Amino acid sequence: MTVHVVGAGLAGLSCALAAADAGMSVVLHEAAGQAGGRCRSWVEPTLGVTIDNGTHMVVGGNHEVFRYLRRIGGTDGLIAGPAAFPMLDLESGRLWTASLGRLLPSVLASAWRMAPSQDAGITRRLGASRNFHRFWEPLALAVMNTPAEDASARVFRRVLARTLWRGQAASRPFLARNGLSETFVGPALAALAVAGVTVRLHHPLRRLQRSGRLVTALDFDDGAVVLGPSDAVVLAVPWAVARQLLPELPKLPASPIVNGHFRLAVAPAKRSSGDFIGLLGGTAQWLFVRGDVVSVTVSAAAALAERSVDEIGTVLWGDIAKALGLRQAPVAQRVIKEKRATLFHSPEVEALRPAAAFGDNLLLAGDWTATGLPCTLEGALTSGVGAARQLLRRNPA
């Protein structure tokens, strides 16, 4: 039996590894010249440093993330962020710390307000909370990449149940120490090589040949791979590509994320608030300082992503200069618009996310499938490992 995993994002990488660990023969096909998909790094020529497509944050309660990291060679690739988030209001200049201890009454009240019922926007469930605008709204935006009034309270509740409601350790943020690829991708490729998985980069799947519920062959540029009777396919591509290959899939709306990376002539002075600040009252929402590079993130950035990169750079730099009290101009900058960063996580869209099981020998994987979680690394890994488990159930070793 050979399993063809298509797409080497975190869903595909984790699926290929779990299937190989279960004794299956696995081939991983990736369209790009680099694995990692929406979680990747590169040396950016305009800045002369390695950057990520977007700063990714995970938290202690992301069990699949930590399980994956342990499997591919350790969690050393992560650094722990602050136990309490410094938050800065750019309009008033007010700086405070969002610590779980101080927010406990609000967190406990949220558990009650978010009790399961018909799904609705988060604002309908938590909008009356005293800390809504200063805590819940920015948190919901970061977690769901969808404005709180539109974002599914049911999905948000599931995230809270695994993180904030479990206390400090499960809520602790972590960032990639030296970039996403070094933490999440390079070690996975090394583990796949040891496990005997063939990885084919620059190998886009163009078409699935199907007969009823069965995939009979995979069409690549260098020819078709005909599937044997016990072979299987896991399609771990982004949802827009999956829909081109399987037109019966529903159309799912996307929500963009914009990141700006700014290189300074001189690294900003160390601040008591640390290298990681939540921002309110401007355009940038999270600010990260790494040496002489300052990066900012804007979630649910549909309107911003329509503007030119120069305009976006000016707006984001204005927020950075204000937040850090800088007078120097950046020596170089790079704005990255990820227009299809995640799904737009409204209750209506949640109802459309497809399950992994799709055909007799075809499974879907990816953060956009019905994991019950938002499109995140945890969601992508959950889907990848889940698809491998289904393969094992269908074809016990």
Ligand X SMILES: Cc1cc2nc3c(=O)[nH]c(=O)nc-3n(C[C@H](O)[C@H](O)[C@H](O)COP(=O)(O)OP(=O)(O)OC[C@H]3O[C@@H](n4cnc5c(N)ncnc54)[C@H](O)[C@@H]3O)c2cc1C
Binding residues for ligand X, per CB under 6 A? 6-12, 29-32, 37-39, 53-54, 56-58, 204-205, 236-238, 241, 257, 259, 338, 341-342, 366-367, 375-380
Q: How far is the CB of 188 from ligand X (least distance, A)?
A: 11
CB 294 within 8 A of CB 268: yes
Give the span between the Cα atoms of 58 and 65, in whole angstroms. Answer: 8
Q: Which is nearer to ligand X, 22 or 142 (CB)?
A: 142
Q: Which is nearer to ligand X, 31 or 296 (CB)?
A: 31
Q: How many CB atoms are closer than 10 A to CB 393?
A: 8
Q: How far is the CB of 126 from ligand X (least distance, A)?
A: 21
Give the span between the Cα atoms of 374 and 299, in whole angstroms. Answer: 13
User: How would you write 324-381 as a 3-class SS string?
Assistant: HCCCCCCCEEEEEEEEEEEECCCHHHHCCCCCCEEECCEEECCCCCCCCCCCCHHHHH
Q: How far is the CB of 234 from ligand X (least distance, A)?
A: 11
Q: How far is the CB of 83 from ligand X (least distance, A)?
A: 18
Q: How far is the CB of 269 from ligand X (least distance, A)?
A: 26
Q: Which is nearer to ligand X, 53 or 106 (CB)?
A: 53
Q: Which is nearer to ligand X, 129 or 249 (CB)?
A: 249
Q: How far is the CB of 330 from ligand X (least distance, A)?
A: 20
Q: Which is nearer to ligand X, 204 or 318 (CB)?
A: 204
In sequence order, the 6+-apart residues with CB closer than 8 A to the CB of 121 are 148, 149, 150, 151, 152, 153, 346, 347
CB 27 within 8 A of CB 226: no
Q: How far is the CB of 321 from ligand X (least distance, A)?
A: 23
353-388 b/e with 16+ CB inside 10 Å = b? bbebebbebbbbbbbbbebebbbbbbbbbbbbbbbb
Give the span between the Cα atoms of 231 and 258, in whole angstroms. Answer: 40
Q: How far is the CB of 164 from ligand X (least distance, A)?
A: 15
Give the span between the Cα atoms of 261 and 293, in whole angstroms. Answer: 7
Give the span between the Cα atoms of 173 and 166, in whole angstroms. Answer: 14
Rama region for 196: left / alpha / beta (φ>0; ψ in -120 to 50; rest): left
Token readout for 35 is 């694995």
Q: Which is nearer to ligand X, 129 or 390 (CB)?
A: 390
CB 26 within 8 A of CB 5: yes
Q: CA 68 from chain center: how many Å?
A: 15
Q: Which is nearer to ligand X, 379 or 386 (CB)?
A: 379
Q: Which is nearer to ligand X, 63 or 94 (CB)?
A: 63
